[in-house]
Structure formats: structure tokens, C-alpha cells
Amino acid sequence: MSDLSAIHDFLACPTPDAWLDNACANQELLLIDHANCEKKAAGTALNLLYRYVDWPELLHRMSRLAREELRHFEQVLSIMQKRGIKYVQITPARYAGGLHKFARTHEPARLIDTLIIGALIEARSCERFARLAPLLDDELQKFYVGLLNSEARHFQAYLDLAKLYSTEPIDARVAFFAEKERELIEAPDTEFRFHSGPLTPY
């Protein structure tokens, strides 16, 4: 398995064990929301391509990232089809919206915050794939382990771009959003999602 030390150092907390139990008990929902996450990740990259047309390095990296995310989306759909799992509409997790509500609205601060949030989402996805893989069947284990390198690369791409385009050190903003992310990951949720917190016990 890949070296995820940079991911673990970046995140403020590990995924709670209770969420892993929830994931194992809700594998159909896990795959449906995983497909949603890959589609949303591609959409985020494309939105950045349209919004920031004068940033060459961003255009190159986000174009590549969007292609990879759509390929992952196709792979999840293929696994779901093999397992007879229908791709249905489900409500989104509060996770991404809970992070983006703290993003600044003026430029270039808006871009920097968006990139930091992107790095956190990719880092958390990578961490969860690694934690989940040993608990799943051989097909899903192989698939999730296979995603680790690309997810880690996406994390690094977002972080590198935030550093490149910021006019000041980003450490304080990274620490701020990492703490907000920790709160979202550790707080109980009423619905299981790929980026939810642990389910509230009944």
C-alpha cells in the first residue's frame, strides 16, 4: 500500500472506527455515494477550469484531474452494475457544504480556500480508501487500493496550486479548514455517506 504519511499529517484526525463499521454495513450505499463523489470531484475541477482561465498551471492540473475522476466514476458504475446495484439519487452529505461555507468570497482568497478544501476532500477520500480496503471483499479491496496513488496525487495537486497562487503563507488557512474538517468527520450523522461522520446510535 502507498505511503500515506503526508495525508495523515495533513488531516487533523483519522476516520472514526464507527464510520468504518457503518461503511461495512452499508456497502451498496457506499458505492452509490462513492460514484457521486467521483462525479462531483470531476465537476469541481471543471468549474475551476471555467472560472480561472488565466491560470495555466491550474488549467493543466484540473484538466488531468477531471479526466481521472470521470474514469473512477465509470469504474464505480461498472462495479455497481456487476453487483446489481441501481444508481439512484441520494441526498448529499453535509461535508463539502460544511467546508465551503467558510470559504472567503473575494479573489484570490476564494480560489485559495477552494483549493485547500479540495486538498482536504481528496486527502480524506484517500485515507478512507486505505482504511476500508482491508475490510472489504477482494474486488473492492483491489479497486480501493488501486485508487490510493491517484487520490494522493489529487491531494498534492490542490495543495501545490494553493501554495503557488497564494500571495502569503497558507499554513493558517490549512489549519483552520483542517479543524473544520475534523469537526465534520467526528460529529455524528443521521445518514451514512462516504464523507459522513459516524451514524448516531439509535
Q: What is the DSSP letter of 135?
A: G
Q: Tell me the one-letter amino acid at 9.
A: D
pLDDT value, residue 200: 87
DSSP codes, 163-191: HHH-SS--HHHHHHHHHHHHHHHHS-BSS
Contact of 177 with 102, CB cutoff 8 Å: yes
pLDDT tens digits for 29-55? 999 999 999 999 999 999 999 999 999
pLDDT tens digits for 91-150? 999 999 999 999 999 999 999 999 999 999 999 999 999 999 999 999 999 999 999 989
Distance between CA atoms of residues 160 and 178, nearest Å: 16
Structural domains for the chain: 14-186 (1.20.1260.10)
Q: What angle do CA 57, 67, 122 make, to 5 degrees?
A: 75
Q: Extract the C-alpha cell encoding 193.
A: 455517506
Residue 199, φ and ψ in degrees, nearest 5: -65, 145
pTM of the model: 0.96
Distance between CA atoms of residues 128 and 195, nearest Å: 9
